[in-house]
Structure 1
Amino acid sequence: MDLTKLTAANKIRNANATAYNQCQDWTLADWSNAIAGETGEMCNLIKKIRRGENIDVQDVGRELADIVIYADLLADKLGMSLSDCIQQKFNEVSDRIGSDIKL
């Protein structure tokens, strides 16, 4: 999936959905806390898998998706493109570790 499609859909849904009206005045801290909350939920599922509990990995995937969606919203609030941030960071790490694999 192209992250620019996610960003466009996120902007429209966030601006128009009744459920998101409460988010219109969120601060950067609110958006980052949302990411932290979803990350905590994902970590809890991984902990349960580690303990041997029968957790559907699709549930982990849904939490990962929540993290990315909130990260995209936060990047937009900062006037940034999550896609650009990912590409720049990936390439930076490739340079640091001496890899010629770039995005």
Structure 2
Amino acid sequence: MSKRITDHPVLGPLEEQKEVSFTFNGQTLIGRENESIAAALLANGIRTLRHHEDSGSPRGIYCNIGHCFECRVTVNSKQGVRSCLTPLQEGMTIQSGGPLPSPVRDWRNAHE
């Protein structure tokens, strides 16, 4: 079920865009060509775009204008892509990020 806004309270009815398919974490989804990846994910009900590298806490869209980097995802094997600024294209493979192994954390624990 799409959560897409099709009739904006200020802008009025929004023009239909070409539908494209893409995958997010292995799940095939439908979005609109050239809308932001973040908008396509939100329209598909996805709120968690990645997990914090250290703590593992969920992250989603925060500023939605490219300043905060909270919406980073991996797109077609390229890491660190800001989903709020990147236009969706047919066939994109998108993956969320998760906690990373941390040699710094392991070193700290070993020396405390």
More strand per residue: 1 or 2?
2
Q: TM-score range by the shorter chain?
A: under 0.3
TM-score for the superposition, normalised by structure 2: 0.24
Q: Which structure is higher in helix share?
A: 1
Q: TM-score, normalised by structure 1?
A: 0.25
